[in-house]
Amino acid sequence: MKRINLLGCPIDITSMDETVSVIKELLREGVFTQHVVVNVAKLVNMRADKALKESVEGCDIINIDGMGVVLGARLCGYDVPERVAGVDLFHNLLNMSAIEEFPVFLLGATDDIVSKTVQKVKEQNPDLIIAGYHHGYFWDDEEAIVEKIKQSGAKLLFVAITSPKKENFINKWQDKLGVSFVMGVGGTFDVVAGKVKRAPLWMQRYGLEWLYRVIQEPRRMWKRYLVTNCKFAWLLFKEKLK
C-alpha cells in the first residue's frame, strides 16, 4: 500500500481488494485500525477545519472515495488504480466479516434507517453477526454510546454520521470503543435502507455521482458542490504550477 500526499493530505493508493485484504489481516492480528475515505469536499474542507484535518490525518488507512480525487491525483502524476468508494467497501467488509465471523456494530442515521439497514445487510449476509446498532442522535450522552459499543463485543464499527462529526467522534473516542476497526460511512445507511438512490453505474464510472445527488436534492446540494468543486479545481491548478 503506497501513501502519497495530495493537496496536503496523506492518501493511500490501493485497490478495493488490497484494502479489504489489509483490513482482514489487521483484524486477525487484533491491531486497531482507523479508516477514512476522502472526496473533493473533504479535501477542501480540511484546509479550513483544523479538527477535521487532524482527525483524517490520524487515520491508519486513507482511501480515495470520489472520482474527482482520483482524476486529480492522476493529473498530478500519481498512478491511482481505482477509487475505493465507502459504500462499496462497507459491503465488502460486511461480506468478509460474515465469512470470518467478526461481529459488527452499526451506528448512525435515524432509528428507522439504521433498523432497515440491519435488516437489509442480514438478508444479504445471513451469517453476519450484528453485535448491536444505534441511531446517530446521541450527542447529549456520547459516553453511554461508547460504552454500549464496547460492551457489545463488536470487532468492526461503522459510523454513518455526517462529516466532520463522524471523523471527530471517532478520533475523540477511538481508545475507548473496544473495537479493532472503525470506519466512517457517511450516508451509506440511507442508500442501503433505500431512502436515497445511488447513481447508475455509468455515472459512477465517469465520476458523476455528485451530479446525480444534485439532481435528487438540488436546493441542498448545488451550492455545496459548486463551491467545493471550484475550489478543488483551483487548488489542483496551483499544484500543477509547482
Give 150-205 pLDDT, tens digit per residue. 999 999 999 999 989 999 999 999 999 999 999 999 999 999 999 988 888 888 87
Global pTM reads: 0.92
Q: Using the predicted structure, report yes or no on whether residue 105 has a pLDDT greater than 80.
A: yes
The terminus-to-terminus CA distance of the chain in angstroms comes to 26
pLDDT digits (tens, 9 = 90+) for 13-25: 999 999 999 999 9
The answer to whether 187 touches 210, Cβ cutoff 8 Å, is no
Domains of the chain in start order, with CATH, are: 2-193 (3.40.50.10700), 201-241 (no CATH)
In the block, which residue shows the cell 451509506?
A: 188
Long-range contacts at 194-202 (CB < 8 A, ≥ 24 apart): 194/116, 194/120, 195/113, 198/87
What pLDDT score was predicted for residue 201?
Answer: 87
Q: Using the predicted structure, report yes or no on whether residue 221 has a pLDDT greater than 80.
A: no
Q: Using the predicted structure, report yes or no on whether residue 93 has a pLDDT greater than 90.
A: yes
Q: Using the predicted structure, report yes or no on whether residue 43 has a pLDDT greater than 90.
A: yes
C-alpha distance from residue 227 to each of 6, 39, 125, 137, 230 (Å): 19, 14, 39, 28, 5
Q: Using the predicted structure, report yes or no on whether residue 96 has a pLDDT greater than 90.
A: yes
Comparing 240 with 143, the larger pLDDT belongs to: 143
What pLDDT score was predicted for residue 170?
Answer: 95
What pLDDT score was predicted for residue 211?
Answer: 81
pLDDT digits (tens, 9 = 90+) for 120-146: 999 999 999 999 999 999 999 999 999
pLDDT, the chain, mean = 93
What pLDDT score was predicted for residue 222?
Answer: 72
Most confident of 73-77, 147-151, 163-167: 147-151
Comparing 237 with 113, the larger pLDDT belongs to: 113
What pLDDT score was predicted for residue 30?
Answer: 92
What pLDDT score was predicted for residue 167?
Answer: 93
Segment 79-96 shows an average pLDDT of 95
